[in-house]
Amino acid sequence: MNYCNRTGRSGIGSSSNNSSSLIIDSDCSDDLIINEEDEELRARNSEDEDYYKPIAPPPSPQQEPITLQDDIHEKRDTKLHAQTLDQLLRKTLDRQQSRICKRQKRRSSIFNNNQHKLKELLSSIVDEDMIHELRDMVL
């Protein structure tokens, strides 16, 4: 009689912790035989898993306990650090906003200057054309 257990091992006399084994008889019928001892072990293991609660490791022996004053001091330092970061962020945002305003003013002034230059150029061209026409008329 040969059998295959769930782990894929086959052979006669091999031991397994599985709860069932597949038996192949000489008549080629597959019979599933349940091993009751393994069922009991698996039931115990599942109960252990249900009641398992992780426990935090003990504190390090090098670590000193934190006193109330140290805790208050640490919280105050954290608060001061947060306030400093907030002030820096606000300054940065103000600088960026002022830079944006300066850029917009520059662009608008450049645009206005370009329009003004274009008007002057057109007026000078018109003036030159008139001067040329007057010269042609005189001659």
- Asked whether the whole model's pTM tops 0.75, one would answer no
Output 125 or 3, whichever has higher pLDDT.
125
Q: What is the pLDDT of residue 138?
A: 74
Mean of all residue pLDDT scores within the chain: 70
**Would you kindly state where each structural domain of the chain is located, as residue ranges?**
2-50, 87-139
Give 23's pLDDT tier (boundaries 50, 70, 90): low
Give 94's pLDDT tier (boundaries 50, 70, 90): confident
DSSP letter for each residue of 96-139: HHHHHHHHHHHHHHHHHHHHHHHHHHHHHHHHHHHHHHHHHHH-
Q: What is the pLDDT of residue 18?
A: 46
Average pLDDT over every residue of 2-29: 49
